[in-house]
A and B are shown apart, each in its own frame.
Chain A
Amino acid sequence: MTDNYEARDVIDKETLSTVKSVGDTYKYGFSTDIETEYAPLGLNEDIVKLISKKNNEPKWMLDWRLKAFNRWKKLKQPDWALLKIPEIDFQDQYYYARPANMKEKPKSLDEVDPKLLETYSKLGIPLTEQKKLAGVIEDNSEDNSENRKVAVDAVFDSVSVGTTFKEELKSAGVIFCSISEAIKEYPDLVKKYLGSVVPISDNFFACLNAAVFSDGSFVYIPKGVRCPMELSTYFRINAENTGQFERTLIIADDNSYVSYLEGCTAPQRDESQLHAAVVELVILDESEIKYSTVQNWFPGDENGVGGIYNFVTKRADCRGRNSKVMWTQVETGSAITWKYPSCVLKGDNSSGEFYSIAITNNMQQADTGTKMIHLGKNTNSRIVSKGISAGKAQNTYRGLVQIGGRSQNSRNFTQCDSLLIGNKCGAHTVPYIEVNNSSARAEHEATTSKVDDDQLFYCMQRGIGEEDAVALIVNGFCKEVLQALPMEFAMEAQKLVAISLEGSVG
């Protein structure tokens, strides 16, 4: 415990110095110059068919997509109260883009285009099986991160370019591959679970995703298996004017455990780009999934030009008894974020946790939170949300806690804290609590505070510069959530917190 504590402190320190050495605010803004193959502009039935064909999909998959597409045509884009969303012309973008030389999927990592490998290593994600994820500090080798491996599935625009540690995982019985591969190799599992958590017609963007998703990650942890390493998917948007629609499906069969990480970045461009993903988690008896996200899509510049529109549907279905899910998210990017990772607590004694940091600076808007749907008996949920706004940004926490009539003795605890930097930004908390069982208990606590001048002065009197002081105080504010992240991500996240707030003081 002690060492862990000190390790974290050391990390905090490394963070500050790293932040100082990072000149650019958005350091992932570069683009990769690579020949790209696009589907024709716009969206119609032929495009859906084309995507299916590019992936060599079986007929049942195409039928599923077409069903979704036909549904989508009848749906209307939702109109959300607290987000100002410029009109999106769904016919004026590409729905499929892949590096031209990815036509034949490389059989092994050795065959992947060096340009792509270089892109990922520049992002700190080496696609090799020897190295760990970026940011693991060397002088800290006594902690448990030393022997930790992280398997990576790298998704570049519409396709997965490679997955590491596949063989080693296979020998443990774990399936970790791109979803396009899973559709072909493990059709029974995919058919059984795809769309079982987020149905085709769940919402406008999820429905669009079902029709045009191009790739994503698939994970199956068999009964009784504790996944021997962290799994991660790294999403990179590179092609211009192209939407990214990926789909992730993770199944934790009885008595299993997996920790999964997701990271995302995109080049700095003046045009906004759409990202509409769907993530489905299925958790069976006595099993647990930890799902962590560090979302760092390009946020647009300080005048609000460009940036990713991030409309994501993430849901965990705790079907089994004693099943458990933990969502942890650090949202620092995107021009607009609309995202509510949810937990459906069906199994008796199941539990869902949601830890979130959402940072908005400049003209960014975030509307994020969670839904906890308690259906089983003795179900538990916990929500810890930290919203930070700077510049002219707007940050909304929107959370639903619903306790059903059959859900005896269920509990929810919600803690929702907002921190404001400057006086042109806004923070909003919108809790919805519906309790239909008298034995249930839901607690909600909310606070709003400002980065305090006295705290800043105290830090600065001790010699800490203003931006470092703000980063320190904000990281302190987020501590509870940062601690819920796996070590590698915690460091990355702390850096991001500081970088996202650069220029927000003074």
Chain B
Amino acid sequence: MANMLNIDDLKVSLEEEEKQIIKGLSLSIKPGEVHAIMGPNGSGKSTLSSVLAGKDGYIIDSGTVNFDGSDLLETEVEERAALGIFMAFQYPIEIPGVGNMNFLRTALNSQRKTRGQEELNAADFLKLVRSIAKDLEISDEMMKRPVNVGASGGEKKRNEILQMCLLEPRFVILDETDSGLDVDAMKLVSKGVNNFSSSSRSFLVITHYQRLLNYIVPDFVHIMVDGRIVKTGDKTLALHVEETGYKDFLQLGKGKH
């Protein structure tokens, strides 16, 4: 099967200072696959997510990123979203004064519009959101608040999953969505993700804990050190990391240029 996402020897620096963060990374993801990325703090996992989502502030030094065969790096942020790329933020952003419902409906209909689909009317929209919120045990009261304002860390993460379920992307990046979740929330989120997964959807799951991977079972586990993938294996690799840490891999990241 053709790759959905294809990253080839990508090198990325910061715009603000002369510092390369991604130092030659290659990764291919096919439809329906779940890939996990683990790696020490500061190794560049969130940077990779941001670059895939199209955030400003980075310089692409070299390499290519293709999504469904077209050049992703030349695509606007909101167009990437409409193509079906979704990133659950490691630190979800607060938007004071903007109600969750309003935000969600604006986002959904913007995407639909970009894709040339009809907008969803208010009644259908409400029904849809309420059923998703119910599954994730997000209260009505939460839904009425401004986006992420006053929400706890775990509540914010759940909100990200709600957005994912509503927007129905085909490629999902979960950037440490498990961090900050209590045991029950973890199950809810995992259930949400599992219900959502299908043979045409792919996931890139960034995590520090193999715990999540018990629920969302990866086809591949990649270890990222200093801007590169230094080792790829199956789900047992995550168990290995949990036991011994990254010391076996740190050396692999050095000296390769």
Contact = CB atoms under 8 A, between A and B. Distances in A.
Interface of A: 2, 5-6, 8-10, 12-13, 16-17, 139, 452-455, 457-466, 468, 472-473, 475-480
A9 B99 contact: yes
B97 interface: yes
Interface string B212-225: 00000000000000
A468 B110 contact: yes
Interface of B: 53-57, 76-78, 80-82, 86-87, 89, 92-99, 101-103, 105-111, 114, 119, 121-122, 126, 140, 144, 146, 163, 167
Interface SS of chain A: helix, strand, loop or mixed?
helix
Contact of B98 (A6, A457, A475): A475
Contact of A472 (B54, B78, B98, B108): B98
Given A9-B102, A13-B102, A476 B78 contact: no
B106 A476 contact: no
Contacts of B99: 5, 8-9, 12
A473 B56 contact: no
Contacts of B96: 476-477, 479
Across the A-B interface, the 9 shortest Cβ-Cβ residue pairs: A476-B97, A479-B97, A476-B98, A463-B111, A463-B81, A462-B107, A458-B93, A460-B77, A9-B102
Nearest to B140: A2
A463 B53 contact: no
A1 to B, nearest CB: 9
A22 to B, nearest CB: 16
Contact of B87 (A17, A139, A459, A461): A461
Contacts of B103: 459, 462, 472
A473 B121 CA distance: 22
A12 to B, nearest CB: 4
Contact of B107 (A6, A464, A466, A478): A464
A490 to B, nearest CB: 13
B95 A476 contact: yes
Nearest to A139: B122
Given A472-B102, A479-B96, A479-B97, 7 more contacts: A457-B56, A462-B107, A462-B163, A463-B81, A472-B106, A476-B96, A480-B97
Contact of A453 (B56, B106, B111, B146): B56
Nearest to A461: B53
Q: Which of A466, A473, A476, A478 has the most CB of B within 10 A?
A: A476
Nearest to B141: A2
B175 to A, nearest CB: 11
B107 A459 contact: yes
Contacts, number: 110
14 contacts: A6-B122, A9-B99, A13-B102, A452-B93, A453-B56, A455-B94, A459-B103, A460-B54, A461-B77, A465-B78, A466-B78, A468-B110, A472-B102, A472-B103
Contacts of B105: 9-10, 13
A463 B82 contact: yes
B93 A13 contact: no
A314 to B, nearest CB: 26
B90 to A, nearest CB: 12
Contacts of B111: 462-463
Contacts of A8: 99, 102
B56 to A, nearest CB: 7
B81 A6 contact: no
Nearest to B81: A463
Contacts of B114: 463
Contacts of B109: 13, 17
B97 A459 contact: no
Nearest to B146: A476
Contacts of B102: 8-9, 12-13, 472
Contacts of B81: 460-463
Nearest to A5: B144
Nearest to B94: A455
B110 A463 contact: yes
B95 A460 contact: no
Contacts of A466: 78
Nearest to A474: B97
Contacts of A479: 96-98, 146
Contacts of A13: 102, 105-106, 109, 122
B97 A475 contact: yes
Q: Which of B77, B94, B106 has the most CB of A within 10 A?
A: B106
A473 B99 CA distance: 10
A367 B147 CA distance: 32
B97 A478 contact: yes
Contacts of B121: 139
Contacts of B54: 460-461
A7 to B, nearest CB: 9
A287 to B, nearest CB: 32
Nearest to A458: B93
B167 A463 contact: yes
Contacts of B107: 459, 462-464
Nearest to B89: A458
A16 B55 contact: no
Nearest to A472: B98
Contacts of B146: 476, 479
A356 to B, nearest CB: 15
Contacts of A16: 106
A473 B78 CA distance: 16
